[in-house]
Structure 1
Amino acid sequence: MNKSFLFIFLFFFGISSFAQTKVGGVVIDDSEKPVAFANVVFKGTRTGTNTNENGKFYLQSEKDYDTLEISFIGYKTKDIFLKSSTSLDLRISLEEEASQLDEVFIFKGKTSKKNNPAIDILKKIWAHRRENGIKSFDQYSYKEYEKLEMDLNTVDSAVMNSRLFKGMEFIFNYTDTNSVTGKTYLPLFINEAVSNIYGDNKIGTRKEVLIGNRNSGFSQNQNLISMFKNMYEDYDIYRNYIKFYDKAFVSPVSTTGIDSYNYVLTDSTYIDNKWCYNIVYYPRRQNELTFKGDFWVNDTTWAIKKIDMETSLDANINWVKQVNIQQEYKVLNDSVFVITKDFFMADFGLSEKEGSRGVYIKRTQLFEDYQFDKERPVSFYQAQVYNPNLAAYQREDDFWVKNRMEQLSRNEQDIYVMLDSLKETKAFNRIYNLASIAQSGFVEFNGWDYGPIYSTFGYNDVEGMRLRFGGRTYFGQNDPWRIEGYGAYGFKDNKFKYGILGKVLVDPKSRLILSAGNRRDVEQLGTSLTNSTDVLGRSLASSSVINVGDNDKLSSINLSTVSLEIEPLKNFTLRVGANYRNIKPASPTFSLDYFVDKDRTMVNSEINQTEVSTILSFSPGREVSGYGVERNVVNGGDFPTIFLNYSLGIKDILGSDFNYKKVQLFYDQPILIGGLGRSNFSLEAGKTYGEIPLGLLSVVPGNQTYFALYNTFPVLNFYEFVTDTYVSAHFNHSFNGRLFARIPGVRDLNLRELVGIRAVYGEISEENRLLDASGLVLRAPDDAPYYEYSLGVGNIFKILRIDAHFRGNYFNVPDARSFAITAEFGFDF
């Protein structure tokens, strides 16, 4: 979970209804057992819902109704007269109708996969799924209206009387009732957007053109808006899996659905002059990533007309109590169905208890003006690197009146008024600022920020206790220039360290950025195979409190860099830079010595090196917010990354010691394997041409801490393997609790199963061995690839992951460890 998600909890947990008819309650049978998936409608209308697996329901409408109709196959239909406009504690008993029991199939519990009419219909849906929707045309375009909302839910007297809301009591005049859950909520944020969508199925591309955007209260916080949008992903119910929150849910109309769901054919009727069947579905097992609900399907095209999907309370998702999806489709040309409405609601909460408080995040998408088979040139779909589209954020009210496909409710309209008033209160701004600090790690002042606060304290064997203070200029997220820096002091070595970096956006259209910086600090080198010239970054291995074995192999580094970066194509960058490094041991027990003469009689303990580099990087699918010198990635970890670096070491410039050439390749690929979970694969390869000392060689990254460090080998010690030519691969997989869900007594813990394997092969030339005078034994995994494997359990208390790592070979290396344990804390879905 990124820190922006933490913003939601810290802000919205930190801080009169206009519907005319509200009903809720429970439906039971003669034996007091709940009737799941019963139909509940306002009599004479199609406004209705289904009871959940516990027989509970909630329904509301802005119109006045006086009669509720409840029906379910095998039971007598029952009408309930509503004595008032609000009836939330109804207890409705249905009577079984014996005469119907002999005429229809009734399935309870686990339904059969054979002789089931619902599954016969499902198979016809599979056969026709590619003939429906926009995929059945070569090209398409349509207009899309999107509404994002966030609400504080379960607003009761305890919330209203909380000291936290002192000075903000007026906001409770804007409470409403959720149409899905029946909970009272307080609308706090709304973002509206209108876009034109274009696509070409022949070349597999899509383009979105934003023509209008407005929101309540957070116009300047585009990071927050982008984070909200990224919480929803495009999904297709006809695919086998529906992905959101980093999880893959089995679609109820997928070809694998019969292994995950029970299906019951319950009703049939005309909808928009089309005869449709109603099928209710629910999970076959607990704790799996599945839904419950129902759908209507047309009997000639076998296309979905309407579908409701709701996650079960026992679904293995952190912080999300329930997700509800509703989609509606209409028929075009009497044969093709296209989507007209998509509603997505997530109920977030720190507790899974039904009455606990939380946050609703809702997205409503409406679609119209479909056009097909209008071919456009490939150049039309090429993404622009610089596209701030400022006019879209400055639309007047008449634009929204014309382009909204659905009018805002009275409460939604009032959100704009409420937020304008709320921003003037000190209490609100205090909560908002605290949440912003937690999300960004910086404390905001006028024109500059202090932080990141998470790096204030550190410890290592050389510096002892370490204090760090840092800051950055900040006038807004789209600043064309920025200066960042820090200072640190070690109480054991009594030395001051610092780092400073400046960057300026020279040309916004090509994203031409000039940057320069300098850092003098103590660092644990060799924690990454890929070269890093990050002036402000510092590995956790450099400041770990608890280590395995001796951890004295730290270096003092004085690094100066200058670079020029350009982005000629979206997500493709070219960077040309130069750097100068002075490296020397930071501990008297650690040596980087190398021979400086052919007779190997004279040594030097410092390295001075000038290097120029050319770096190509490509991140297809990456989404960013903002257009200043720094942009925030809003879908971190959900896209592949390719990195190619060519470095040239130049001797004698600024007293540089060595000539060499270095080529490095890095590739990282996240993989979502349907219902089997999520994997991540990475590959690194590199080769150095020329004679260089230990301080410039490629060290296979070990990890002597108890904390997980990205792409390291946890059972290796620092400097255990050293190479000048290497290939390394890492594979990690999470089953997302799929296996634990089948174990009684364990499934309720919502744990996640984790496995991993990593390997590296490398060589070191004899010339580089002879150059070394450090006293270390320079060895490379050249007999066979060194490998490790790991087993782990994640989601412990929803925040902790523990992995056990095992060495696979090279047990004869002195001081070799055969086993290691690492822990990792984090907020994940």
Structure 2
Amino acid sequence: MKKLLLGFLLFPLLLFGQTKVSGIVKDNFGEPVAFANVIFKDSNEGTITNEEGRFYLESDDTYTTLIFSFIGYAEKELTLTEKTTYNIEITLEEETAALDEVVVYSGKTSKKNNPALDILRKIWENRRENGVKKFNQYSYDKYEKLEFDLNTIDSALIKNRIFKGMEFVFDQVDTSNVTGNTYLPIFINEAFSKVYGDNLLDEEKEILEGNKNSGFENNNTLIAFVKDLYKEYDVYDNYLKFFDKSFTSPLSKTGIDVYNYVLLDSAFRDNKWCYNIVYYPRRKNELTFKGDFWVNDSTWAIKEINLQASKSANVNWVREVYIEQEFDVLNDSIFLLTRDYFLSDFSLRKKEGARGVYGKRTTLYDNYDFDKQKSKDFYKEQVDPYQYEVYNRPDDFWETRRLEKLSKDEKGVYKMLDTLKTVPRFKTLYNVGAVLASGYYEVDNFDIGPVFSVFGFNEAEGLRIRLGGRTYFSQNDPWRIEAFGAYGFRDQRFKFGVSGKWQLDRKSRLNVFGGHRKDVEQTGASLTTSTDVLGRSLASSSLITVGANDRLSRINLTTVGFEVEPSKNFVVRLTGSHRTLESVTDTFSIDYFDEDGNIKSTISQPEIELGFTYTPRRKTSGYGVERTVINDGDFPTIYLGYTYGLKDVIDGDFEYAKLQGLYTQPWNIGGLGKAYTTVEVGKIFDPVPLSLLSPIPGNQTLFSIYNSFNQLDFYEFVSDTYASFHLQHDFGGRIFSRIPFLRKFNLREVIGFRAVYGEISQENIALNASNIVYQAPEDIYYEYSVGIGNIFKIFRLDFNFRGNYLDNPGARKFGVTGIFGFEF
């Protein structure tokens, strides 16, 4: 019965693809031959074997002969007796007779007297003289198709109980022409845009004219995430960034150090004489590709290129990456990109037979136009992020805009997925996935959560239970209300918070907000302060801490304000707040002397804060009162804030001014990994007590928290003037990959350095009546760390060392912290 069902599923596939072959290529010693050429005879259709010598090749045409070849081996032909032939095993014989007559490149190729490298240098010389870079201005049409597919479909999966009642989905099973695995489309999105660019102004603008998807609601975040995952790239760049990793391009000026290059062939490609160069990695575990490209012999422009990521590359959850680009010729000399195909095979395991998900993006370019100037205001003008007609175009719009017709299976996906949404079992599976992804459990139009914040512990509250929720009608809600309640079993007190946000104007993102919170808080957990009513401090709610987590305050906070985004990613925010603070443990005090010399234990303070935040290159999804950042950690953040404290207004105790600035910058350093740096500065211009000063953020949890000092206790240093610097660099396994016995674990090296300088005036010291002994780090405090990342693909362990102030009471000279996270 299983064979009958499988045959039924495969029957239409045999008609769709005329010739399909797969197998493995070995040498006469039984070892796999990596990067060997496999070509249909009398055609330009072919592929190369992977690192295990395996290949898959498919064509819509009918072929009867395969040709196998590799430098140093005799060419071999195989006659195909059937249209579909799987699991072929080919043995190539070494070409011993020709060794004295030709230069043989096998294994590591020479960096000298290699004609492929001479051609590569010509490409470097002309890399900026190709494509749209040759023109002052340009525009073109862009059609993009995104698709997710469940792969490695077999009879066992089809019979799995999880698909009970959903068997109809398997009617859309197809076979990948890259990997040879069967797959089931589960999501599809189409977009048509007009792109304008100006090389003189260094500006580019994309205007979305149509968007169509498979029917899932609230999928804008998924679409935006995938687009960022497959962000556009230029193969001429030294490094190509995918999955937040920098892969060395085979056209890179540093490619000679990480790739082997072989000049394999020369032939006409669309009436242009081109050279064919094969490339493959020199070492394992590096972020490199294998493949080949055709380059024109006069312009030295790329005509065709394919890239397949090395299977040993230190990338999590990604089993396969395959890229194809095709270029067309304009005016006999200019090569313009016309088609870009990108496939990723995501899987929890890299084992060949493991199931996973394909993520595919096909982008086509047409109607190029040049030197039509647009004003600078055109590129700066904000575009409404949502226009109803763009997302509801009729079928005839797509019939004329699609630059590549949908296959029969792709057309069926729309109908299949719309039907799937109505199946109760699918809804249940979808909801479970949503909880794991968002941390919230949906009940009608209300989300309960976040579920990961339910339990906590600190010295004041003991065991703490917290439960909250938010309204959620869609990703693009114009208003939202959030609330939480918490209870501490030691202090036997109930805490709560409620906040609301309302969007008044979508285009300028004019939002108003307000809220109230009564809670226990670890103040001073960060230098750049926040008046977010429902912000959760890990420092005050972590289950396990180092030392006594007792320097906590009871906070009663009310805020109102508004924010606006006058230009993209530039936010202006005005906030009015009032808070009261008092200590909650006998071992911690925020007592201070008032004007009459009396000791007070509670402070009441209203503030007005004006803040400016600029996040260039930030990408977001959604247009409602809240948006989802889809490229977190991939853009700089610049913040400047001015705060004015009011006295004798709403029982205000102090009048003061505070200025703060923050600059965070990620750095992709090509083959050396990725770094993050943060600089923070601040100054309080008038005398204030301990609870209004700027404690240097310590970290007494067992978690590695960026922008805090892991070897400092809370309130160990306090300042009114400060400057801090943080550096964290992830080498991405560049060092461990060169150590044989560590290579297979795909571990990653992380280093960190943190330093802070601070001052505190005598006026502020004189106000202190608390039991806290503190100082300012006038002799710059510093600490450093070394870490091992990617442990079991989800965990990083940091070993932290305190650099100075080792004589401070209770100083922690060494500590270990860790952090969980999902990263590629």
Question: TM-score under structure 2 normalisation?
Answer: 0.96
**Partner letter of residue 709 of structure 1?**
I
Residue from 807, 811, 823 that aligns with 2:806: 811
Equivalence for 1:617: 613
Equivalence for 1:315: 313
Q: Distance in 2 between matches of 1:278 and 1:774?
A: 76
Equivalence for 2:5: none
1:684 has 2:680 as partner: yes
Equivalence for 2:3: none
User: Mind listing any 5+ residue stretches in structure 2 that lack a counterpart?
Assistant: 1-11
* TM-superposition CA deviations, 1:481-538 (whole Å, max 9, x none): 1110100111111100001001111122221111110000001111101111011111
Q: Give the 5 Å matches for 1:388-467.
A: 388-467=386-465
Residue from 629, 634, 640 that aligns with 2:630: 634
Equivalence for 1:122: 120
The count of aligned residue pairs is 811
**Partner letter of residue 252 of structure 1?**
P
1:799 has 2:797 as partner: no
* TM-superposition CA deviations, 1:547-598 (whole Å, max 9, x none): 2222211110000000111111111111111100000001122100001145
Equivalence for 1:201: 199
Q: Distance in 2 between matches of 1:38 and 1:743?
A: 28
Q: Distance in 1 between matches of 2:20 and 2:128?
A: 40
Q: Distance in 2 between matches of 1:520 and 1:603?
A: 24
TM superposition shift of 1:51:
2.0
CA RMSD of aligned residues (A): 1.5
Equivalence for 2:699: 703
Secondary structure of residue in 2 paired with 1:434: helix
Equivalence for 2:350: 352
Asked if the contact 1:385–1:569 (Cα under 8 Å) also holds between the matched residues in 2, the reply is: no
TM superposition shift of 1:73:
4.7
Q: Distance in 1 between matches of 2:503 and 2:667?
A: 34
1:605 has 2:592 as partner: no
1:186 has 2:210 as partner: no
Residue from 225, 228, 231 that aligns with 1:230: 228
Secondary structure of residue in 2 paired with 1:475: coil
Q: 1:794 to 1:73 in 2, by over 3 A?
A: closer
Q: Distance in 1 between matches of 2:76 and 2:711?
A: 67
TM superposition shift of 1:787:
0.8
Q: Distance in 1 between matches of 2:589 and 2:264?
A: 77
Q: Give the 5 Å matches for 1:215-294.
A: 215-294=213-292
Equivalence for 1:827: 822
Q: Distance in 2 between matches of 1:181 and 1:254?
A: 27
Secondary structure of residue in 2 paired with 1:315: coil
Asked if the contact 1:153–1:360 (Cα under 8 Å) also holds between the matched residues in 2, the reply is: yes
Secondary structure of residue in 2 paired with 1:653: coil
Equivalence for 1:56: 54
Equivalence for 1:543: 541
* TM-superposition CA deviations, 1:24-63 (whole Å, max 9, x none): 1123344444333333233332222222233321111233
Residue from 739, 744, 748 that aligns with 1:743: 739
TM superposition shift of 1:97:
5.2
Equivalence for 2:140: 142
Asked if the contact 2:116–2:262 (Cα under 8 Å) also holds between the matched residues in 1, the reply is: yes
Equivalence for 1:4: none
* TM-superposition CA deviations, 1:603-635 (whole Å, max 9, x none): 000010011111111111111111111111111
Q: Give the 5 Å matches for 1:470-489.
A: 470-489=468-487
1:662 has 2:667 as partner: no
TM superposition shift of 1:74:
5.0
Q: Distance in 2 between matches of 1:510 and 1:56?
A: 54
Residue from 106, 109, 127 that aligns with 2:107: 109
Secondary structure of residue in 1 paired with 2:687: coil
Secondary structure of residue in 2 paired with 1:745: helix
Equivalence for 1:506: 504
Q: Give the 5 Å matches for 1:494-573.
A: 494-573=492-571
1:299 has 2:273 as partner: no
Q: Distance in 1 between matches of 2:29 and 2:290?
A: 24
Q: Distance in 2 between matches of 1:395 and 1:803?
A: 52
Q: Distance in 2 between matches of 1:786 and 1:190?
A: 53
**Partner letter of residue 724 of structure 2?**
S
1:89 has 2:87 as partner: yes
* TM-superposition CA deviations, 1:180-219 (whole Å, max 9, x none): 1001111111111111111111111110011111111325
Secondary structure of residue in 2 paired with 1:191: strand
Q: 1:76 to 1:270 in 2, by over 3 A?
A: farther
Equivalence for 1:10: none
1:721 has 2:717 as partner: yes
Secondary structure of residue in 2 paired with 1:248: strand
Q: Distance in 1 between matches of 2:98 and 2:364?
A: 40
Identity of aligned residues (%): 57
Q: Distance in 2 between matches of 1:798 and 1:72?
A: 36
Q: 1:670 to 1:507 in 2, by over 3 A?
A: same
Q: Distance in 2 between matches of 1:719 and 1:105?
A: 70
Q: Distance in 2 between matches of 1:164 and 1:561?
A: 48
TM superposition shift of 1:76:
4.8
Secondary structure of residue in 2 paired with 1:655: coil
Compare 346-355 and 20-29 and name the one that shifted more: 20-29
Residue from 767, 770, 775 that aligns with 2:771: 775
Q: Distance in 2 between matches of 1:64 and 1:218?
A: 38
Secondary structure of residue in 1 paired with 2:741: coil
Asked if the contact 1:385–1:570 (Cα under 8 Å) also holds between the matched residues in 2, the reply is: no
TM superposition shift of 1:465:
1.2
Residue from 738, 756, 759 that aligns with 1:760: 756
**Partner letter of residue 812 of structure 1?**
D
Secondary structure of residue in 2 paired with 1:401: helix
Equivalence for 1:694: 690
Q: Distance in 1 between matches of 2:437 and 2:161?
A: 24
Q: Distance in 2 between matches of 1:230 and 1:164?
A: 31
Equivalence for 1:733: 729
1:672 has 2:668 as partner: yes
**Partner letter of residue 827 of structure 1?**
F
Q: Distance in 2 between matches of 1:420 and 1:705?
A: 47
Q: Distance in 2 between matches of 1:76 and 1:790?
A: 54
Residue from 777, 783, 788 that aligns with 1:788: 783
**Partner letter of residue 543 of structure 1?**
S
Secondary structure of residue in 2 paired with 1:35: coil
Equivalence for 1:132: 130
Q: Distance in 2 between matches of 1:734 and 1:323?
A: 22
Q: Distance in 2 between matches of 1:625 and 1:31?
A: 54
Greater relative contact order: 1 or 2 (C-alpha under 8 angstroms, separation 6 or more)?
1
Q: Distance in 1 between matches of 2:202 and 2:107?
A: 42
Asked if the contact 2:459–2:548 (Cα under 8 Å) also holds between the matched residues in 1, the reply is: no
Q: 1:338 to 1:385 in 2, by over 3 A?
A: closer
Question: TM-score under structure 1 normalisation?
Answer: 0.96
Equivalence for 2:376: 378
